[in-house]
Chains A and B, each alone.
Chain A
């Protein structure tokens, strides 16, 4: 019995020492990434509902609607405030949306690029906003639901000194203020 106990003790000692010895030795970094088990989705998948435009409109806040740019901004020619031919489809799309949601009220912001004086650009930006308002009214929108404001060159959309930047800054933006 004693002999057996001694053998067990010595065995455990040896094991302890070898373990210690192993610990002291430099451990090689694992070469393989730990395997991550893939967890499958449950088979009963919930179909994400496709919301209609109406439902989206109901669900989203004013900020979200404006952030999503449901109403597209339009751009203008240098020193001009008449509506460009290629901007008319955008205004038509805006008008279609606005006619669909007749409770909506909007603010049209007129903006200019930096190549003008401050005083003149306020007037020019206002003319741009007004041109956009008149165009929407001609497409059937109630002008009483449109307010306009001009920021002149105070609020450029992009910073840049090339025609592409200037073009982006010469714009009218359509902000939904009430739905």
Chain B
């Protein structure tokens, strides 16, 4: 970045932060394509599945909710289906479906076998051309009905050139009584699985880039140390040595992590090669440096530093050089999260004791506010496709996890019991 660009960034940044004072600044980032209207008539059920209706509903509802969530598809309201003759998978009248403004028709068939396995088959049709586009079959245990629906929805996404999203998971901290442990759940809040069982504080989990390991901080040895849990082997190993260690982020391009440690006496950012164990200190400043976060191409690191007197967001090159400040106004910014397309930084700002989540567009220098007048909002983390974020908020009393789109739309709560905090969305799904 040359000086002129830097000056422009500074000026634009100033302007944006001043705008923020007027409240209610929303970002409108044009995603180009209009949403595709999809019709999803009720599934055909075999006798056993029809008898045990409790299978059909979760698969149907999950698939519907997934498709509606994407911002790629728009679901044709169910009540419109009653204007046309009942769906017959063997003799589809495409004109009927075109008349209720559907572009894509998904026809599903659900079978339940005598040994309680679910077989779900779906076919996707393009209505205008009256063509079958593609179909898939999925089978699995009855308990995996929701996963089957997520997989089906991911197939649709892939077919439309998108990255899979619905089989992605979120790691987070769940508090219940005195326990504070780490859990993994589906993106929509279902199927939580506990992965740590210590009586000490476990916190700030994050994913390895291959999604096989979870890095987290635990006080189990009476000081905050960094541990790595292997999801598949179940093994846990200590990663850090000395001081307080936390806020780890795995490189998207290499077997390396960045994290905060005070092992040299002050909160600094370190780079650790996870193959060789070799470490490199990246920041050298008597102030607090923390919350490192890789850019998606692995060339830069966003972080929080208090070197100007208050916590502000900075970006440096991955070797620790070329440090530049991103947030220019306000007195408290932290928890930077780089969007998967590299275009945006989400972070938390405290303004007049309100904690809200902002999204800063690095290209246009526009800033948008995702949350407004509703409790404390913390720890934003992007979905693999960069269209959504998960964050924690105490707007309803206890801390719970919420999903919101990059432009502040489609807010929804995904956890409801106990307290749930510090979510991190997988950076990719299979």
Interface residues in chain A, defined as those with a beta carbon under 8 Å from any beta carbon in chain B: 79, 114-120, 122-124, 126-127, 130, 149-151, 154
Contacts and interface: CB of A to CB of B under 8 A. Distances in A.
Contacts of A126: 244, 262, 267
A116 B350 contact: yes
B353 interface: yes
A120 to B, nearest CB: 5
Contacts of A123: 244, 260, 262, 267, 288, 290, 306
22 contacts: A79-B332, A117-B335, A117-B348, A117-B378, A118-B422, A119-B246, A119-B304, A120-B288, A120-B290, A120-B306, A120-B334, A122-B244, A122-B260, A122-B267, A123-B260, A123-B262, A123-B290, A126-B244, A149-B222, A150-B244, A151-B219, A154-B201
B204 interface: yes
Contacts of B201: 151, 154
A149 B331 CA distance: 26
B288 A118 contact: no
Contacts of B246: 119, 122
B121 to A, nearest CB: 45
Across chains A and B, which 3 residue pairs bring their CB atoms closest together, nearest first? Answer: A123-B267, A117-B334, A123-B288
A164 B244 CA distance: 28
A127 B243 CA distance: 12
Contact of B288 (A114, A127, A151): A127
B340 interface: no
Nearest to B349: A117
A118 B304 CA distance: 12
A115 B394 CA distance: 12
B401 interface: no
Interface in B316-342: 331-332, 334-335
A114 B353 CA distance: 10
Interface string B334-370: 1100000000000010100101000000000000000
Contact of B203 (A115, A124, A150, A154): A154
B283 to A, nearest CB: 12
A177 B135 CA distance: 66
Nearest to A161: B353
A4 B348 CA distance: 109
B159 to A, nearest CB: 39
Contacts of B383: none
Contacts of A118: 203-204, 378-379, 421-422
Interface string B390-430: 00000000000000000000000000000001100000000
B244 A119 contact: no
A150 B224 contact: yes
Contacts of A114: 376
Nearest to B378: A117
A116 B421 CA distance: 14
A145 to B, nearest CB: 16
Contacts of B267: 122-123, 126-127
Nearest to A125: B244
Contacts of B288: 120, 123-124, 127
Nearest to B311: A120
Given A126-B262, A150-B224, A119 B310 contact: no
Contacts of A150: 224, 244
A3 to B, nearest CB: 87
B67 interface: no
B340 to A, nearest CB: 21
Nearest to B223: A149
Given A79-B310, A126-B267, A150-B224, A119 B332 contact: no
B245 to A, nearest CB: 10
A21 to B, nearest CB: 64
B127 interface: no
Given A126-B244, A154-B203, A119 B334 contact: yes
B247 interface: yes
Nearest to A149: B223
Contacts of A117: 291, 334-335, 348, 355, 378-379
Nearest to A127: B288
A151 B203 CA distance: 11
